Chains A and B, each alone.
Chain A
Amino acid sequence: MAAKTLTIDGKEVSAEEGATILDVATDAGIKLPTLCHLDGVYDVGACSLCLVEVAGMNKLLPACTTKISEGMDVKTDSERLRKYRRMTLELLFAERNHVCAVCVANGHCELQTLAYSQGMDHVRYDYSTPKWSVDATHRLFGMDHNRCILCARCVRVCWHIEGAGTKNVSGRGARATIITDLNQPWGDSETCTACGKCVMSCPTGALFHKGSTAAEMEHDRDKLEFIVNAREKKQWLP
């Protein structure tokens, strides 16, 4: 494959055609804030946190789904980008019911960590406080829709790592929701293998191990990395 040369934050880099801006930035040691991105599954550009500026374009582009091109001039940090990233985070907090103090993932949550690392000290928008349910029908896992940010990591790992195809997205906009099979209670699912990869992938406390209480839920992302590494590189690293 042909190599492309481009500039990221003033740094000249080259990478293979087909790589994304996020791939190249990561290789160059530039850390972009991401939330829906998960190593090992394809990107969907659902969260808009990795937005970057590309010279000559007015609109901001998600680094995770934008392929590099020859001569591209990318900026990953600016006043404008910080403004939009903070706005996006505030909107995520305002959209559903994220009550960190009583959340299973308190202290282990990617949304919470991103919020403070991006300087979010409060939410300027009115909280929409919608009514969402909790599916606790599965014998091992629970799904609290109040804490879901619709990143669809769980859907992607379920289809493309486990190959079960149990998790899906239904609906559109703010009323979109993660469903099990044809919108059945999780506990009734005949396709779910109870592998727990969805729980490992979840950035917030939306998916959790039953029995975990506030701040107890850690997601064991290492296990996913182990599987992906073994599959893609044939390396069985402990």
Chain B
Amino acid sequence: MKLRVATVWLGGCSGCHMSFLDLDEFLIELAGKIDLVYSPVVDVKEYPENVDVCLIEGAVCNEDNLEILHKIRERTKVLVSFGDCAVTGNVPAIRNQLGIGNTENVLQRAYIENAQDNSCVPKADGILPPLLKRVLPVHEAVFVEYYLPGCPPPAGRIKALMVQVLGGQTPKLEGANLKFG
């Protein structure tokens, strides 16, 4: 029975997924052992039921992130915080330093101050998920089983964890494999 694996991209830059693709020939071995049931790199719209392992890239920044994260938790046995944004909040969480009003500040910066044309904050229904007052690392929102830090985690580190997961072991990263940044 193949392991049902998902990967998800919340508030991050997709660098962790790029690093996942850097697994090179190990991807072929991996493809023989897992079913990738949901991921930015496969065309599945709805997060499925009965997922064994989900790698979560990115911090929890908005209502959409939070909603899918709760769905993922319900439908997944093992969650892995994948990369520094998921583990610590990292760069997306820098806006927390601005305190109350940080959401208005970042929207103003992105859509008004830095806009060359048509500066306005998008207001149409459902077009922009409301930002959370505080950006959260994944484990502050839901229970997380394992952590895979790094910005991004180097491919070798992802492989180390995946090999342990595939071997049915409790993943355990040590030493420099836990380096942030």
Residues on A facing B (Cβ under 8 Å): 93, 97, 99-103, 106-107, 112, 115-117, 119-123, 126-127, 129-131, 146, 215
Does B82 touch A at the CB level, under 8 Å? Answer: no
Sample (23) of A-B pairs whose CB atoms are under 8 Å apart = A99-B91, A99-B93, A99-B94, A100-B151, A101-B91, A101-B180, A102-B91, A107-B181, A112-B181, A116-B175, A116-B177, A119-B174, A120-B178, A121-B87, A122-B88, A122-B139, A122-B144, A122-B149, A123-B137, A127-B89, A127-B96, A129-B96, A129-B134
CA distance A123 to B134 in the complex (A): 17
Complex contacts, B178 vs chain A, CB 8 Å? 115-116, 119-121
| Chain A interface, DSSP helix/strand/loop, else mixed | loop
* Bound CA–CA A101/B179 (angstroms): 10
List of A residues within 8 angstroms of B151 by Cβ: 100-101
Q: Which of B133-174 contact A (CB under 8 A)?
A: 134, 137, 139-140, 144, 146-147, 149, 151, 173-174
State the CA gap A99–B99 with chains docked (Å): 17
Q: Kindly state whether residue B114 has any CB partner on chain A within 8 Å.
A: no
- Kindly state whether residue B118 has any CB partner on chain A within 8 Å: no
Which residues of the partner chain B approach A117 to less than 8 Å between Cβ atoms?
Answer: 175
Taking a contact as CB atoms under 8 Å apart, the answer to whether B137 and A122 are in contact is yes
CA distance A122 to B177 in the complex (A): 13
Q: Which residue of B lies closest to A120 (CB)?
A: B178
Q: Which residue of A lies closest to B179 (CB)?
A: A116
At the interface, yes or no: B176 with Cβ under 8 Å from chain A? yes
- CB atoms of B173 and A121 under 8 A apart: yes
The digit string for B36-60, where 1 denotes a CB below 8 A from any CB of A, is 0000000000000000000000000
* Extra A-B contacts (9), CB below 8 Å, given A121-B87, A121-B178, A122-B88: A93-B88, A100-B181, A102-B91, A106-B181, A112-B179, A119-B178, A127-B96, A129-B96, A129-B97
